[in-house]
Amino acid sequence: MVSKREDADRDLSRAVPLSENGLYTLDSDLVRRVAKALERGDFSSVRDSLTPLHKADIADLIERFPQANRHKLIIAAGEVFTGDVLANIEDDVRDDLLEDLDTSKVVDAITTLEVDDAVSVLEDLGLPRQREVLDAIPQEERAAVEESLTFPENSAGRLMQRDVLALPANWTVGKTIDHMRDGVSLPDDFYEVIVVNATQEPIGSVRLDKLLRARRPETLSDLMRTDIKTIPVLTDQEEVGYVFEQYDLVSAPVVGTDGSLIGVVTVDDVVDVIQDEAEEDLLRLSGVAETDIYRATLETMWGRFTWLLVNLGTAILASIVIYQFDGSLEKMVALAVLMPIVASMGGNAGTQTMTVAVRAIATRDLNMGNLGRVLGKELLVALANGGIFAILAGGAAALWYKDYPLGLVIGGAMIINMITAGLFGLVIPVILWRLRIDPATAAGVLLTTVTDVVGFLAFLGLGALFLL
């Protein structure tokens, strides 16, 4: 006899195909099976393969197909292609799909979504197409979506869902539970009851687990937490993510300029925000504006061109420094051979410090109050590493060329550049941050310039001074 648990496990194994890359990734055999069914026009087999999958897995499957076949796959999916699938597709892929999808198909998908998800689908559409889709949405839902679109992009107003369970403090537990059982105008997903006063301002919250353990005569005012964190509607989503992470929230009320409750942000949306912000910082440190794995080749090329052009300019600046010592290089070829070591070590050390600094600024771990202590620590680390690698590189160079003064020169240059890297790897992000410029955007290029110029100048300058 098979237990219910075994039945559930077996259903799960069918719903989540196993893969050589991990439990929660699509099986390559499934992808090939869908591709073959699509190729021979067997739409029924395509739907049978997609039906057991989670909406996010269907979105991943659509992304894996070439752009020319994605629209055909959506047609084959039929009713399996829902708003949740559309909302889970990567932005670049979704933008291409929305251009090809009929307005009626887009409307059908959007009307099944929460307002925040509907807004994320619509916000990147061109205004004429966005207007066309909005006009086709039922009036009540359209008004909520249009209001959310008036808030700045990446703000709490775009992130929040409008449906909120908000009740007065004098309601009893029994009345609250009966109200929820009626199911009138309740959010699809919620984690707590927001308690409001007569002017609809949030004054507390009651988590559902606490509510269900309480007796029916108790009032919400007896159970509610009053130390809630309200989020102004114009707050940047990065700030929202910080609040959730800092205070371990599962949801938070969003208030308008008058302090009244207008929505709620839930943890499932904040997880996406935290991942997006971390990804954005990582990409900007590499000089890439956004993830471009799904973008067309020409768009990807132009997206990376700008920072490569800036890098060319900084490389020319470093070359000018080298040119000033061309006479020294002609006299002693060893300087030309060894000089990339100093610049490379400085660049790598600076990148380590810069990466830590940029992330610490984003998470509020680095601020003007502890800047001096952190800077002192980074300089000590740079000095210690510089000394160790000065011995290693200098000793190797001295033995290689049997020239001990040359070893001292490369060792001295190594210490100078490592200390410079530690200093500017922290200072550059902090200066950009204080100037209200995203440190991840330009810190890498500036730091590379500093470590290259100082590295070449220190090594060639010491070489010209003591060896020639």
436 or 22: whose pLDDT is higher? 436
CB 38 within 8 A of CB 46: yes
Q: What is the pLDDT of residue 208?
A: 93
pLDDT reading at 293 higher than 70: no
CATH code assigned at 113: 1.25.60.10
Which run of H or of E encompasses 421? Answer: helix 404-434
Whether residues 135 and 177 fall in one domain: no
Q: Compute the half-sphere exposure of residue 14: CA atoms within 13 Å on the CB side of its CA.
A: 10
281 or 170: whose pLDDT is higher? 170
Whether residues 23 and 151 fall in one domain: yes
CA distance 405 to 413: 12
Which of 159, 175, 208 is the endpoint of a domain? 159
* 7 part of a folded domain: no
Percent of the chain with pLDDT over 90: 35
Q: What is the pLDDT of residue 14?
A: 43
* 428 part of a folded domain: yes
pLDDT reading at 303 higher than 70: no
CB 192 within 8 A of CB 207: yes
Q: Which residues of 205-226 are buried (b: 16+ CB within 10 A; e: fewer)?
A: bbbeeebeebeeeebbeebbee
pLDDT bucket at 165, cuts 50 / 70 / 90: very high
pLDDT reading at 388 higher than 90: yes
How does the average pLDDT of the chain come out, rounded?
84
Mean pLDDT of 228-232: 94
234 or 440: whose pLDDT is higher? 234
CATH code assigned at 317: 1.10.357.20
* 2 part of a folded domain: no
* 419 part of a folded domain: yes
CA distance 154 to 314: 33
Whether residues 155 and 171 fall in one domain: no
Structural domain total, the chain? 3
Q: What is the pLDDT of residue 368?
A: 87
End-to-end CA distance of the chain: 89
pLDDT reading at 141 higher than 70: yes
Residue entry with tokens 């935290």: 274
pTM of this structure? 0.69
Whether residues 92 and 63 fall in one domain: yes
Mean pLDDT of 394-406: 90
CA distance 175 to 361: 46
* 277 part of a folded domain: no
pLDDT reading at 315 higher than 80: no
Whether residues 107 and 212 fall in one domain: no
Whether residues 363 and 310 fall in one domain: yes
* 285 part of a folded domain: no
- The CA-based diameter of the chain, rounded to the nearest angstrom, is 94
pLDDT reading at 18 higher than 70: no
CA distance 47 to 57: 14
Which of 139, 159, 179 is the endpoint of a domain? 159
Closest CA to 325 of 208, 456, 219: 456
Q: What is the pLDDT of residue 12?
A: 41
Which of 124, 141, 159 is the endpoint of a domain? 159
Amino acid, single-letter form, for residue 32: R
Q: What is the pLDDT of residue 171?
A: 96
Whether residues 417 and 460 fall in one domain: yes
Helix, strand, or coil (residue 102): coil
pLDDT reading at 4 higher than 70: no
330 or 344: whose pLDDT is higher? 344
pLDDT reading at 290 higher than 80: no
Whether residues 360 and 444 fall in one domain: yes
Phi, psi angles (nearest 5°) of residue 225? -90, 135
CATH code assigned at 221: 3.10.580.10
pLDDT bucket at 233, cuts 50 / 70 / 90: very high
Phi-psi region of 183 (alpha: psi -120 to 50; beta: other; left: phi over 0): left
* 292 part of a folded domain: no
pLDDT reading at 314 higher than 80: no
pLDDT in tens, 173-208: 999 999 988 866 788 788 999 999 999 999 999 999
CA distance 334 to 135: 72
pLDDT in tens, 68-127: 888 899 989 988 998 899 988 888 788 888 888 888 888 888 888 888 888 888 887 888
* 283 part of a folded domain: no
Q: Could you say which DSSP state residue 84 is in?
A: H
pLDDT bucket at 284, cuts 50 / 70 / 90: low
pLDDT bucket at 287, cuts 50 / 70 / 90: low
234 or 4: whose pLDDT is higher? 234
Residue range(s) defining the domain that contains residue 130: 13-159
